């Protein structure tokens, strides 16, 4: 009799652990959402990027460092993904560079910093410098 009580108690505890683990897994599955990790990637034309998203690109000579390229982003951007919202925080812009065969060479996270004194309050900028011959192999995108 004593042995059967211990057996029943062990089975009950195992069943209880199973229920708790099942509940935790279901809770994580229900509360996780695609929108928490969603990223939208696409190519923009010069006109679309300026008119729709407020992104402009500028470049100038930068001495021995080659060409300085900077991107200006409006701090408030109107996004049209599923619902229209104002996006108010630009975080960073990843930069990648590949060789002539398309093999990854370098990557960097461009952090927003002012490029020039008295920059407009509604703009944020990121910049990098590269040799003029390497600019065609550079690509970047904005992360908000």
Model confidence band, residue 15 (pLDDT cutoffs 50, 70, 90): confident
Work out the angle at residue 141's Cα, subtended by the Cα atoms of residues 75 and 92, and round it to the nearest 5 degrees: 55
> How confident is the model over 122-132, as pLDDT tens digits?
788 888 899 99
Among residues 120, 11, 7, 8, the alpha carbon closest in space to that of 56 is found at 120
Residues in the chain: 144
d(CA 41, CA 136): 19
d(CA 54, CA 125): 12
pLDDT score, position 11: 81
Tell me the whole-structure pTM to 2 decimals: 0.60
Span 40-55, mean pLDDT? 76
Token pair for 69:
């390229």
d(CA 83, CA 79): 8
- Give a three-class secondary structure readout of 15-56: HHHHHHHHHHHHHHHHHCCHHHHCCCCCCCCHHHHHHCCCEE
pLDDT score, position 60: 92
Residue, of 23 and 29, whose pLDDT is higher: 23
> How confident is the model over 56-95, as pLDDT tens digits?
888 999 999 899 998 888 776 655 554 544 455 667 788 8
> How confident is the model over 92-128, as pLDDT tens digits?
788 898 988 989 898 888 888 777 777 887 788 888 8
User: CB–CB of 68/125 below 8 Å?
Assistant: no
């Amino acid at each position: 009799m004593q042995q059967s009580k211990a057996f029943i108690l062990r089975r009950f505890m195992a069943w209880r652990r199973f229920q708790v683990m099942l509940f935790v897994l279901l809770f994580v599955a229900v509360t996780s959402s695609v929108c928490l990790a969603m990223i939208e990637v696409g190519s923009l034309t010069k006109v679309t990027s300026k008119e729709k998203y407020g992104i402009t690109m500028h470049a100038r000579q930068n001495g021995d460092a080659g060409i300085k390229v900077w991107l200006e982003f409006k701090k408030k951007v109107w996004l049209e993904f599923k619902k229209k919202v104002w996006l108010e925080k630009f975080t960073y812009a990843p930069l990648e560079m590949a060789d002539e065969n398309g093999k990854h060479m370098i990557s960097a996270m461009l952090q927003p910093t002012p490029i020039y004194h008295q920059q407009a309050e509604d703009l944020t900028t990121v910049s990098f410098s590269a040799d003029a011959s390497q600019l065609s192999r550079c690509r970047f995108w904005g992360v908000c």
